[in-house]
A and B are shown apart, each in its own frame.
Chain A
Amino acid sequence: MIHISDLKANIGETPILKGLSLDIEPGTVHAIMGPNAAGKSTLSKVVAGHEDYDVKSGDITLNGESIMELSAEERAQKGIFMSFQYPVAIPGISTAYFVRTAVNAVRTANGEEEMDAVTFLKTARERMKWVGMDKALLNRPLNVGFSGGEKKRNEIFQLAMLEPQFAILDETDSGLDIDALRTVADGVNKMRDPKRSFLVITHYQRLLDYLKPDVVHVLVDGRIVYTGGFELVHTLEEHGYGWAEEQIKNGEPVCPPGAEA
């Protein structure tokens, strides 16, 4: 579904991604873990089409078609969703109005009929329940005065409304208490589908315990340096990333503690 090959991207003159490759099949959940400043958030923004990042080389394809020349909104319309680490606030525009505008922008772009107000409201109420979001928030300006938890629930609610093919969750777990984390994870799990895939970016084990990713990648210094299964999450939680950085420095093959080389 999503295929990233040898992606190199800079911010200004500074290289951040240094040849990153990744394959994500339909219906799978991938996780990316890595130390601070490894390039995790850069990856999500480059996939979503943020213009602050200067892509030097490499390609990203969705269902075999390159998306590199597409604008952020065209990528969104094709079904790429990114849950923001820091969702923005828009005064004066209610959450309901914003989400409906987005849903219909995506539908129109795909030649589908717009969702009418009644259907929208019914669907929205139902999906807000999935993420434990107070329905009063529908009528409040988007993210204005929302708590950290409410903002993150709102992201997953929008994910549920937009029904993308591919969703990146960028540190969706940061700033959430354990209960909120569980409801957010439940919301994501409800959205799992053989045709939909996820890329979960996180520092922590907690969210992954609920999402049970199929594949786990270790991102260090702009490259995927090791890929394993769910068990890797526990190794990383216990040992951190120092071993990987050390092995790279020494020119050794990357191999987690306790794993076979």
Chain B
Amino acid sequence: MSQVQDLPIDQDYKYGFETDVEQDIMPPGLDEDVIRNISAKKGEPEWLTEYRLAAYAAWLEMTEPHWAHLKYTPIDYKAISYFAVPKRVVLDSLDDLDPEIKATFDKLGIPLDEQKMLAGVAVDAVFDSVSVATTFRAKLLEQGVIFMSISEAVHEYPEMVKKYLGSVIPVRDNFFAALNAAVFTDGTFVYIPPGTRCPMELSTYFRINARGTGQFERTLIIADKGSYVSYLEGCTAPMRDENQLHAACVELVALEDAVIKYSTVQNWYPGNKDGVGGIYNFVTKRGKCLGNRSKISWTQVETGSAVTWKYPSCLLIGDDSVGEFYSVAVTNNHQQADTGTKMIHLGKNTKSTIVSKGISAGKSTQSYRGLVQINPKATGARNHTQCDSLLIGDLCGAHTFPTVDVRNNDSQVEHEATTSSIGEDQLFYCRQRGLSEEDAVALIVNGFCKDVFRELPMEFAIEATKLLAVTLEGAVG
């Protein structure tokens, strides 16, 4: 009998099953001992334990931010278990992996057998608190590309981890980042050596499975001089009527002439039609364009989570560096999303582009929140922002909160935004020409999102289009 079971909740969320697997779960609650315990279980060096404890001390002094346009039941940090790992995790060979976990990823469409995989995509699979498999590692290492779980990297490349961990998102950056720094359990580490174009797409697939836990992963990507990497993350979770916390940190560092393209298809469980359950997604993502002419490009398709709080940002430090943010966020039923970006221009002739498309349906609420800051030394800087909202139905909300702060007179910043609705007129017109209402909605929404979808790798663009249609099912009529 298969132990990968579908949960009996009436929902269109096809990733909502739960895997019955033997797990080592720490009791709920957080104190210094829990942190020492996590660190000890992972056999971490002293400096990292100290780093965690310092973060924890900082977190205790901080308060949860409430400036976002979000309403949610308060998070009880004492009720969360901060560590949950399957008992049978052997990273040396996929053959030793718990078959239930392998079956889980198969069911999610992420086969972990290298021969079954999509050609040209390497995957790090994270199951609750731990990375359970990383494919194509050896092949990538032939070209000097390091692709492994961050837990392993701590041991194998300690200098590099020590140098860059927290260098983009300082421990005290914000409440959730501090919490992550204290309790992060796993995540992905990527290093691309100078002049190397990473030969395949790298990706991490995050899966929350255990009840009563949170997921706190940490991703660190370093692209050395003149290198290129395209990275994609995906995420899902079982359908439950509890809210689970996901508080991740992603740090990107691009050195001279390096390019990092980071794409996300976020499909955490959004809760049911009445707003019960779903993931609280409080994520800090930031990239540093450290070298001249470096480039970081964020692309995100956000369809899941009950609550999303997420602002993938770029610090444009190197001269002529480039930051990009392309986002499609779709909310339906009772979902809430407060998302956007920050582009901090520090170097000369830095450029940034922001394209944000928000679609709200049902009783959902969505906000775009953005900051474009041109500092005094960032002469010749350019930004263009296009930020559009589409409303479906009259019970949802769409809000736009951009901030533009320009501190030199040799820069050009332009911001444009629109809000509109899928009008009855538009739908009727399409139907008069023979399209069904659902096809008409899909057509209009895809047209609306086109500028972002074309930034995604082909197969993910198709996946994203489908996901959008599923999320908006029943939104009209």
Asked whether the complex places CB atoms of A and B closer than 8 A, the reply is yes
Q: Is the CB of B434 within 8 A of A91?
A: no
Instruction: Please tell me which stretch of A10-18, A33-41, A98-106 contacts chain B, meaning at least 4 of its Cβ atoms lie within 8 angstroms of it.
Output: A98-106
Considering the complex, which residues of chain B in the window 416-431 have a beta carbon less than 8 Å from any beta carbon of chain A?
423-426, 428-431
List of B residues within 8 angstroms of A48 by Cβ: 428, 432
Return B418 CB to nearest CB of chain A, in Å: 9
Does chain A have a CB within 8 A of B448?
yes
Q: Which residues of chain B are within 8 angstroms of A93 by Cβ–Cβ distance?
A: 443-444, 446-447
Task: Give per-residue flags for A61-89: 1 if the beta carbon is below 8 A from chain B beta carbons, else 0.
Answer: 00000000001110111000110101110
List the A side residues contacting B242 at CB < 8 Å.
none
B326 CB to nearest A CB, Å: 14
CB nearest to B450 among chain A residues: A92
The closest CB in chain A to the CB of B422 belongs to A90
Residues of B432-447 at the interface with A, using a CB-CB cut-off of 8 Å, are 432-437, 439, 443-444, 446-447
Q: Taking CB as reference atom, which chain A residue is nearest B440?
A: A73
When distances are taken between beta carbons in the complex, the residues of chain A under 8 Å from B434 are 73, 76-77, 102, 105-106, 109, 162
Beta-carbon nearest neighbor of B423 in chain A: A88
- Interface size on B (CB < 8 Å)? 23
Give the residue name and chain of the B residue nearest to A83 (CB).
Answer: B432
**Known contacts A102-B434, A109-B434: does B447 contact A141 (CB below 8 Å)?**
yes
A92's nearest neighbour on chain B, judged by CB, is B447
Q: How far in angstroms is the closest Cβ of chain B from A125?
A: 19
Is B433 in contact with A90, judged by CB distance below 8 angstroms?
no
The reply to whether B428 and A72 contact each other, CB–CB distance below 8 Å, is: yes
Q: Which residues of B contact A87 (CB under 8 A)?
A: 429
Question: Which residues from B are CB-within-8-Å of A134?
Answer: none
Q: Is the CB–CB distance between B424 and A101 below 8 Å? A: no
A79 nearest CB neighbor, chain B only: B434
A48→B439 CA distance, assembly (Å): 18
Question: Is A56 an interface residue, CB under 8 A from the partner?
Answer: no
Of chain B, the residue at the smallest CB distance from A82 is B432
Beta-carbon contact of B435 and A105 below 8 Å: yes
Q: Is the CB of A76 within 8 A of B426?
A: no
A52 touches B448 (CB 8 A): no
Residues of chain A within 8 A (CB-CB) of B451 are 92
> A75, A77, A82, A105 — which one has the most chain B CB atoms within 10 A of its CB?
A105
Closest to A94 in B: B447
A192 within 8 A of B: no
Note all chain B residues with C-beta closer than 8 A to A105. Answer: 433-436, 439
Q: Nearest Cβ in chain A — how far from B436, in angstroms? A: 5
- Known: A91-B448, A92-B450. Is A162-B433 also a contact (CB below 8 A)? yes
Interface size class of chain A, counting residues whose CB lies under 8 Å from the partner chain: 20 to 34
Q: Inside 8 A of B450's CB, which chain A residues have their CB?
A: 92
A50: contacting residue among B428, B436, B448, CB under 8 A: B428
Given contacts A71-B431, A88-B423, contact A101 B436 (CB under 8 A): no
Contact at A73–B431, with CB atoms within 8 Å?
A: yes
Partner of A90, one of B432, B437, B447: B447
Interfacial chain A residues near B429, Cβ < 8 Å: 84, 87-88
CA distance A81 to B433 in the complex (A): 7
Kindly provide the distance from the CB of B429 to the nearest chain A CB, expressed in whole angstroms: 4
Contact check: which of B426, B428, B435, B449 meets A102 at CB < 8 Å?
Answer: B435
Which residues from chain B contact A73 at a C-beta distance below 8 Å?
A: 431-432, 434-437
Give the docked Cα–Cα distance between A88 and B425 (Å): 7
Residues of B near A52 (CB, < 8 A) are 424
Known: A50-B428, A88-B423, A88-B425. A102 touches B448 (CB 8 A): no
* Most B-side CB within 10 Å, residue of A71, A81, A90, A141: A90
**Complex CA distance for A77 and B430, rounded to whole angstroms:** 12
Question: Is the Cβ of B443 less than 8 Å from the Cβ of A98?
Answer: yes
A141 → B minimal CB distance (Å): 7
Closest B-chain residue to A99, C-beta based? B433
Q: How far is the CA of A75 from the CA of B436 in the complex (A)?
A: 11
- Tell me, in angstroms, the Cα distance from A71 to B436 when the chains sit together: 9
Cβ contact within 8 Å between B425 and A102: no
Give Cα A157–Cα B264 distance, bound, in whole angstroms. Answer: 41
- Residues from chain B with Cβ under 8 Å of A172 in the complex: none
Contact B426 A158 (CB under 8 A): no
From residue A145, how far is it (CB to closest CB) to chain B in Å? 14
| Contact assessment for A158 and B433 in the assembled complex, using a CB-CB cutoff below 8 Å | yes
- The closest CB in chain B to the CB of A143 belongs to B429
Contacts of A91 in B (CB 8 A): 447-448
Bound together, the chains give a CA A48 to CA B431 distance in angstroms of 9
The distance in angstroms between the C-alpha atoms of A91 and B421, with both chains bound, is: 12
Task: Tell me if A72 and B432 are in contact (CB < 8 A).
Answer: yes
> Closest approach, in angstroms, between the C-beta of B54 and any C-beta of chain A?
48
The chain B residue sitting closest to A80, CB to CB, is B432
- B420's nearest neighbour on chain A, judged by CB, is A91
Bound-state CA distance A234–B445 (Å) is: 47
**A141: chain B residues within 8 A (beta carbon):** 447
Closest A residue by C-beta to B444: A90
B439: A residues at CB distance < 8 A: 101, 105
Query: 1/0 contact trace for B19-48 toward A, CB 8 Å?
Result: 000000000000000000000000000000
13 further A-B pairs in the complex, CB-CB below 8 A; given A105-B433, A158-B433, A162-B434: A73-B431, A76-B432, A76-B433, A76-B434, A84-B432, A88-B429, A90-B426, A91-B447, A93-B447, A101-B439, A102-B430, A105-B435, A105-B436
A–B complex contacts, Cβ < 8 Å, 7 sampled: A71-B431, A71-B437, A76-B432, A90-B447, A91-B448, A92-B446, A105-B439
Q: Which A residues fall within an 8 A CB radius of B?
A: 48-52, 71-73, 75-77, 81-82, 84, 86-88, 90-93, 98-99, 101-102, 105-106, 109, 141, 158, 162
Closest 9 CB pairs of A and B: A92-B447, A72-B431, A93-B447, A102-B433, A76-B434, A105-B434, A106-B434, A73-B431, A88-B429
